[in-house]
Amino acid sequence: MSVGRKACFSIPILATDAQVKEEQEEHEEHEEQAEQEEQDSPNSSSGSEPSTPPTPPADDHVDLLEDYSLKSSNALPSGPYVETQDYCGHSYVHLNEDYDRRLCWSNDPDHLYLATYFRQEPPNLANDFKVNGLCPVVKEDDSDKFILRDAKGRYYIWDAWDGYLRRVTDIWTQGFDSQEQVIENLLIYLSWVEEEADVIYRNREED
In a domain, 158, yes or no: yes
> CA–CA separation, 111 vs 125, rounded Å?
16
Which amino acid makes up residue 18? A
What percent of the residues of the chain are helix, what percent strand, and what percent coil, each to the nearest 5? 35, 15, 50
Residue 106 placed within a domain: yes
Domain around 89: 85-200
CA dist., res. 71 & res. 66, Å (int): 9
Report whether 134 contacts 125 (CB < 8 A).
yes
For residue 27, the model assigns a pLDDT of 66
What's the pTM value of the predicted model, to 2 decimals? 0.60
The enclosing H or E element of 149 equals strand 145-149
Q: Tell me whether residue 168 is in a domain.
A: yes
Query: What's the total number of domains in the chain?
Result: 1
Q: Per the domain annotation, does 121 fall within a domain?
A: yes
Element (H, E) at 200: strand 198-200
Q: Each residue's pLDDT tens digit in the chain (207 positions)?
A: 444 444 444 444 445 566 656 667 776 776 777 677 766 655 544 444 555 555 544 444 434 334 433 333 333 444 555 678 788 889 999 999 999 989 999 999 999 999 999 998 899 999 999 999 999 999 999 999 999 999 999 999 999 999 999 999 999 999 999 999 999 999 999 999 999 999 999 877 766
Residue 171 included in any domain: yes
Q: Is residue 27 part of a domain?
A: no
With respect to residue 78, please indicate whether it lies within any of the assigned structural domains: no
Is 39 inside any structural domain? no
